[in-house]
Structure 1
Amino acid sequence: MYEQLETYFQQKLSLTEVQFAEITALLTPKSVRKGELVVRQGEVGRYGAFVAKGCLRSYVIDKKEKEHILQFAPENWWIADQNSILHNEPAMFYIDALEDSEVFLFGSAFFQKLQAIGPEFQSLFYTLLQNSVRSMQKRLISTLSATAEERYLEFIHTYPTLALRLPQRMIAAYLGVTPESLSRIRKELSIHK
């Protein structure tokens, strides 16, 4: 599990053994069972997670008890209700495990302390933050204006390993379509190949 984390950071920047030890001191390794909640909507979220193995998701449940998936977090992804962690406010969404997963939990001070390890980490933090905002903006625009087929193709581009790992109903909940509509989209795309 630690090798996965070290490889992730080594791909982003040059990392010394001392720096990696400082990073791991800021994180708590945890095994999360399939279905286990990491963050509960309405409660103050204390942790976010870096996924070393498995897959987590963030989602909301509307008044009609329908799930709306906001994000998937497979290996090497970060996931958190940043507003809850940083501002000590109730979480806006749930985060749970879709598979048995190995994660590193981080708290509100993680990114500040990460920046103190070295100046290159400030740049990494800024890049991660930009990517998060960019991803959410693209997701919002896609949800509001793209066709279901375009949203599915974007899903495949964003999460290339998940199409075969996740149940169809989860992908449909992410796309905002019914499982039956997703089936039709997949069938039409396979015919056009």
Structure 2
Amino acid sequence: MSGRGWLARWPVIRQLRGEDGRSEAARSARTDALRPRTEDATTVARSICPYCAVGCGQLVYVEDGKVTQIEGDPDSPISRGRLCPKGSASKQLVTHPGRRTEVLHRRPYGTGWERLDLDTAMEMIADRVVRTRRETWEQTREGRVVRRTMGIASLGGATLDDEENYLMKKLYTALGAIQVENQARI
């Protein structure tokens, strides 16, 4: 018998193809009522999984501005539509009710933590980056044009994906930082 001949004769395959009288026994009203989670999506965005540096392609389905499903991208030359368990669960990064929407902050010389919303925390960070760049900017050094700041540095992690590392490098270069490293190279 050929290697695939037995598969075509397998009862479940025959039932699903409708090739035997028991095909309706393999179906139910509940099964017939099921619809794909992607059916009502208004847009589909191509992205890359955020969990590791492999860069598996993802299709992000969005309905009314909310992520409804994330699946592997079959056109991705890296993952060919497959995702690991972490990548398959990445929808929870943006939709899980337990997702953090605030940060803990301890003020200088403070003894306790206070909760801040993300917008406030981002404004505080942006203010500090701008102030540090302004205070530590060097236009020239020993008569040479350097246009840099030694007050800002970055040490990235290997858990960041290609998109994140690319954007971080662009940001730090635009700020004039020259101390940009990644732990994967150290």
TM-score computed with the length of structure 1 as normaliser: 0.26
The answer to which structure has the higher strand fraction is 2
The answer to which structure has the higher helix fraction is 1
TM-score computed with the length of structure 2 as normaliser: 0.27
Larger radius of gyration: 2
